[in-house]
Amino acid sequence: MLKIMLSTLVSTLLVAGAAQASRLIEPLSEVTVAGTGGEWTTSTITVGGFNLPYQLYTPTTEASGKKLPLIIHLHGSGEAGTENQKQMMVGTRNGPQYFVLPEHQKLQAAYVLAPQTPVEIRWASTGIPEYNLDTTPETVSMTALIALMGELLKSRPDIDPDRVYLAGLSRGGQGVWNAALRHTELFAALVPISGSGSPNHADRLKNMAIWAFHAQDDRTTRVEYTRNMVDAIFHAGGSTRLLRYTEVEFGDHQAGWDTAYGNSQVYRWLIKWRR
């Protein structure tokens, strides 16, 4: 059952229970841009003729010889495109900006990956509602993302493969659920925000560290979509040691990620997990 703990702004629901084919990969030219305490590098990966733009944050760290986490953030529909900029959410503290905040990088230096899908191609499924994973093919965006992860793990030996974290909002939240359902073995922890999933397959995530967020009054993506995933994980044997669900009491769609990225709790929770 769900245990609801209400505060003035947020009700936190703690759930009492929580073959990749070989493809052509063609990395393109890179441009380096100054970042907060590190550098953002812009690039593109081409997989099977599909181009996936992305930016990669490389932290400035004196932790020589120590492996660092990789945090991947998947954007929402408002940040979709091919210009390799909107997904950065510059001018906010959301998404990629949240993970490179000085206080967070000081707490734990980490690589941050911010890929971008075109408007017409989602991270998962073909629309906002829940879907059946068995009858929904993997999108080319998701295929390219998984290939990119593999390339980064090979080319950056200081990335710890046991500390790869995935977060995302709106269509990106849907992408987080989808990536973990299809490639559970790749991730140490997830932060899906305001997105839908495939509840009939949620048993695959019962041993995964997850902190999900959604606003009760979300008029874009129904709150039931996250509730259904959380409930399904619980019924499959999930536990509160691994699974958290924060349901924002007031606010529309954006309230989900404004809450998740509003303080350092998510970052502190995320970096403690290992695969």
pLDDT along the chain (275 residues), means of 10: 33 34 35 59 97 96 77 97 98 97 96 97 94 97 98 96 98 98 98 98 98 97 98 97 96 96 98 97
Phi-psi region of 227 (alpha: psi -120 to 50; beta: other; left: phi over 0): alpha
Domains with residue ranges and CATH for the chain = 2-270 (3.40.50.1820)
Alpha helices in the chain (DSSP H): 96-99, 102-107, 140-155, 171-182, 223-235, 255-260, 265-270
Q: Tens digit of pLDDT for each residue in 25-64?
A: 344 334 333 345 689 999 999 999 999 999 999 998 655 5
**Alpha carbons 17 and 9: distance in angstroms, whole number:** 24
The pTM for the full model equals 0.88
Which tens digit of pLDDT belongs to each residue from 225-261? 999 999 999 999 999 999 999 999 999 999 999 999 9
